[in-house]
Structure 1
Amino acid sequence: MLTVLVPGGTGQLGRDLAALSSPEAEITAPGSAELDLTSTGAVVDAVSTLAEGARATGRTPVVINAAAYTAVDAAETDEQRAFAVNADGPRVLAAVCSSRRVPLVHVSTDYVFPGDAERPYEPEDDLGPRSAYGRTKAAGEDAVLGSGAQAWIVRTAWVYGLGGTNFVETMRRLESERETLSVVDDQRGSPTWSAELAAGLLELAGFIAGGRAPERRVLHCTGGGETTWYGFARAIFEELGADPERVRPCTTEEFPRPAPRPAYSVLSNVSWAEAGLTPLRPWREALSAYFAAARR
């Protein structure tokens, strides 16, 4: 029996976690207006209330941190704010979790890696972020792991969800606005549906509460398989009933962005499976399920 606090509850992942609330796992998912991780007092109050309430009812308290500054390009000129949310906030959260003996699951990103690998990244591979966003998320990982808290890092990638600002929804909009569009075909990753990621994170929380916590403190969890943004876009067009030939491939150089993107950010899910956690479905299968859910 769990009582879960989800900072970042109004984001696409936070909303999907909140939707999983049940008698077995009571989930509270405040947005930043209700729980600002940059406010030490607010964090102390929220985690203390979680711990006291859970233990009074015989439940195990767990925090799943879905709060993050995710505006990758904006972070290049607003790194101080990104650092406050992605590094300072998790540092405070982890310290309070440590003092209140509350387990913490912290969500991180593929952007902590340099993106120049030739095989899927394992959790133990050296970090080397090349963007401000990646640097702040790597700093957040260090803060959590060095806090003394009972904590786990879960890295994921290419996340999309219903009602979110993400690649799938952008492609859905552009399909109705443009006859053709060019999409980068030299960046590879693993699309991940936030609803499936949320279920995996809750499963991990249950493992922790039930005495089956993974020994490894850093895990990777993404949709199965890999593709490029171009391949992802073509699949989205197929789901929309549109001609995928309307999507044209281009290079990263032809589509410059303020923040450098990893050329290769596929994460190995071996650590997740070895912990006994349920692997996420292949990305293409999950995408079809996402569109089926969107039509309901």
Structure 2
Amino acid sequence: MSQPVILVTGANGQVGQELRVLSASYPAFTFVFTDADSMPVNKEEVVQQMFAAHRPAYCINCAAYTAVDKAETEQELAFAVNAEGVRILAAACKNYNTRFIHISTDYVFNGQSPTPYKEDAPTGPENVYGVTKLKGEQLCREVNPESVIIRTAWVYSSFGKNFVKTMMKLMQERPAISVVNDQVGAPTYAADLAACMMQIVANTNTSAANWHPGMYHYSNQGRISWFDFAVGIKELTGSTCTVNPIPSKQFPTPAKRPSFSLLDTSKIRQTFNIAIPEWKESLKKCVALLKG
């Protein structure tokens, strides 16, 4: 009997790259990694060909248009990938009886909540990127209600471009930097999110009863601002750079950022028996990798 195939889209992104690393620990599965060149998710014909060729048991969608500020002017492209692409994948998964895991974002919320966001909290994105990701969620649930959607936030890793790598670079180059202290949330180490999704897949493979469709939230444990995050990076790298807190209004960006985006992760922990590491523990691992 052939091994179950896991089709990973957006394999060159942060979470996709972490899944590549993790794939070596899951020899019971055959992984097929695709990117924007080999399988653009918004090209229905190409997606159909890929599903017909590999008949995946699982599809993990890491493909996304994530340039938050550029999305304000590249709306069409953002919608093509984050909404239409999700609809196409969700439909293909339904067609081929493939279990679908889709990654979404905290940016579907307006950032005004007094408490961590639960999965059923009212949405209200404040920027185009958030609007496109929310549309993707809606299409996914409409087309394929058996999907698992995981919203995450503040993703970083040893791969690609992210806050941790930018801060480490700036702290080496400058005597002082300023970081916003009025946006609150919790970071997500992409390696932890990848491990969470693989745990869901592996457990489902053992018993189909372990598959629980629905909306979930995942980020590392804790509650911090971007300034706190930068200070954590400074401590772990031993940098002498001064980190100054500033309000968001002193750092204007084309896309508005939510001032509060803390996600309540209790549902994913309880449903799938997931242990989520504390943010600083995961940051420590990533910094160690980056320092080599």
TM-score between both structures, scaled by the size of structure 2: 0.95
Following superposition, the deviation at residue 149 of structure 1 comes to 5.2
1:177-216 matched pairs, under 5 angstroms: 177-209=173-205, 210-215=207-212
Following superposition, the deviation at residue 293 of structure 1 comes to 2.5
Check whether the contact 1:101–1:149 (CA below 8 A) recurs between aligned residues: no
Query: Where does residue 220 of structure 2 map in the other structure?
Result: 223
Give the secondary structure class of the aligned counterpart of 1:153.
strand
Check whether the contact 2:75–2:128 (CA below 8 A) recurs between aligned residues: yes
**Is 1:14 paired with 2:21?**
no
Provide the rounded CA distance (Å) in 1 between the counterparts of 2:79 and 2:90: 15
Alignment partner of 2:230 out of 230, 233, 244: 233
Give the secondary structure class of the aligned counterpart of 1:219.
strand
**Is 1:292 paired with 2:278?**
no
The letter of the residue matching 1:93 is L
**Is 1:167 paired with 2:172?**
no
Unpaired stretches in structure 1, ≥5 consecutive residues: 55-60
**Is 1:252 paired with 2:256?**
no
Query: Where does residue 57 of structure 1 map in the other structure?
Result: none
TM-score between both structures, scaled by the size of structure 1: 0.93
Query: Where does residue 240 of structure 2 map in the other structure?
Result: 243
Check whether the contact 2:175–2:240 (CA below 8 A) recurs between aligned residues: no
Alignment partner of 2:146 out of 121, 134, 150: 150
Q: Indicate the RMSD between aligned Cα atoms, in angstroms.
A: 1.4
Check whether the contact 1:2–1:206 (CA below 8 A) recurs between aligned residues: no
Provide the rounded CA distance (Å) in 1 between the counterparts of 2:4 and 2:217: 23
Count of equivalent residues = 287
Provide the rounded CA distance (Å) in 1 between the counterparts of 2:260 and 2:19: 28
Check whether the contact 1:98–1:149 (CA below 8 A) recurs between aligned residues: no
**Alignment deviations for residues 202-248 of structure 1 (CA, whole Å, 9 cap, x no partner):** 1112233322335450011110111000000011111111136x000
Query: Where does residue 34 of structure 1 map in the other structure?
Result: 38
Provide the rounded CA distance (Å) in 2 between the counterparts of 1:212 and 1:222: 25
**Alignment deviations for residues 138-164 of structure 1 (CA, whole Å, 9 cap, x no partner):** 000001100035211000000001121
Check whether the contact 1:109–1:157 (CA below 8 A) recurs between aligned residues: yes
Query: Where does residue 58 of structure 1 map in the other structure?
Result: none
The letter of the residue matching 1:38 is N
The runs of at least 4 aligned residues of structure 1 exceeding 6 Å deviation read: none
